């Protein structure tokens, strides 16, 4: 069974541009979480989608946005990129039927803003 998949693995953008990151959850999982992890720092919660709707968002400006599609895959968009947006962006999925409701992470997308 495939795990959480993310693309692209690496992305280099210039300041002011837009970046789009994609995530496919584990088959059967309906919840998708997005996290930002700057180098050497902890996980910062960005967004949570469940059943196609945004359920919660972290303390990030509106230029961080996303959506979840009918097949439960998700997209994270970052507009007007700033140098400090350079980080590892992790997607995780959760299946509501699992007893432990464990979340599983994808390998992440490295975004570098120059």
Partner 1 sequence: GQNIDQPTEMTATEGAIVQINCTYQTSGFNGLFWYQQHAGEAPTFLSYNVLDGLEEKGRFSSFLSRSKGYSYLLLKELQMKDSASYLCAVRDIQEYQLIWGAGTKLIIKP
**What does the alpha-carbon distance between residue 59 and residue 94 come to, in Å, rounded to a whole number?**
22
Question: Rule CB under 8 A: is residue 60 a binding residue for partner 1?
Answer: no
Site for partner 1 in 67-96 (CB under 8 A): 88, 90
Helix (H) or strand (E) holding 11: strand 10-13
CB under 8 Å, gap of 24 or more: what pairs does 52-56 form? 55/31
Q: Which two tokens stand for residue 78?
A: 């970052």
Q: Which part of the chain contacts partner 1 (CB under 8 A), choosing from 8-16, 48-56, 60-68, 70-78?
A: 48-56
Q: Which part of the chain contacts partner 1 (CB under 8 A), choosing from 21-29, 41-49, 61-69, 74-82?
A: 41-49
Counting DSSP H helices and E strands in the chain, the numbers are: 0, 11
Q: Is 83 helix (H, G, I), strand (E, B) or coil?
A: helix
Question: Rule CB under 8 A: is residue 100 a binding residue for partner 1?
Answer: yes
Q: Which part of the chain contacts partner 1 (CB under 8 A), choosing from 20-28, 59-67, 79-87, 98-106?
A: 98-106
Chain residues in the site for partner 1 (CB under 8 A): 33, 41-43, 45, 48, 55-56, 88, 90, 100-108
């Amino acid at each position: 069974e495939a795990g959480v998949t993310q693309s692209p693995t690496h992305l280099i953008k210039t300041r002011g541009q837009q970046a789009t990151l994609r995530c496919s959850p584990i088959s059967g999982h309906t919840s998708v979480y997005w996290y930002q992890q700057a180098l050497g720092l902890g996980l910062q919660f960005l967004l949570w989608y469940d059943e196609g709707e945004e359920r919660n968002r972290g303390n990030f400006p509106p230029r961080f946005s996303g959506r979840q599609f009918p097949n439960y895959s998700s997209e994270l968009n970052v507009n007007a990129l700033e140098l400090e947006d350079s980080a590892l962006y992790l997607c995780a999925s959760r299946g509501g039927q699992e007893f432990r409701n464990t979340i599983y992470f994808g390998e992440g997308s490295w975004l570098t803003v120059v």
